Amino acid sequence: MATREIRTLGEDCLRKTCKEVKEINDRIITLVDDMFDTMYEANGVGLAAPQIGILKRIVVIDTDGTPYVLINPKILEVSGEQVGYEGCLSVPGKSGIVARPNYVKVEAMDLDGETFILEGEELLARAICHECDHLDGVMYVDKVDGDIIDNEVLAEMMAEEE
Ligand code: NI
The model's pLDDT over 46-70, given as tens digits with 9 standing for 90+, comes to 999 999 999 999 999 999 999 999 9
What's the confidence (pLDDT) of residue 106? 98
What's the confidence (pLDDT) of residue 162? 75
**In the structure, what pLDDT confidence band is assigned to residue 1 with cuts at 50, 70 and 90?**
confident
Span from the CA of 89 to the centroid of ligand 1 (angstroms): 6
Q: Which of 5, 131, 161, 162 is catalytic?
A: 131
Spell out where 1-141 has E strands. 46-48, 58-61, 68-79, 82-86, 94-100, 103-109, 115-121
Strand partners, 108: 116
Contact between residue 103 and residue 152 where contact means Cβ atoms under 8 Å apart: no
Average pLDDT, the chain: 97
pTM: 0.96
What's the confidence (pLDDT) of residue 87? 97
Residue 122 annotated to the active site = no
What's the confidence (pLDDT) of residue 13? 98
Contact between residue 58 and residue 49 where contact means Cβ atoms under 8 Å apart: yes
Span from the CA of 17 to the centroid of ligand 1 (angstroms): 15
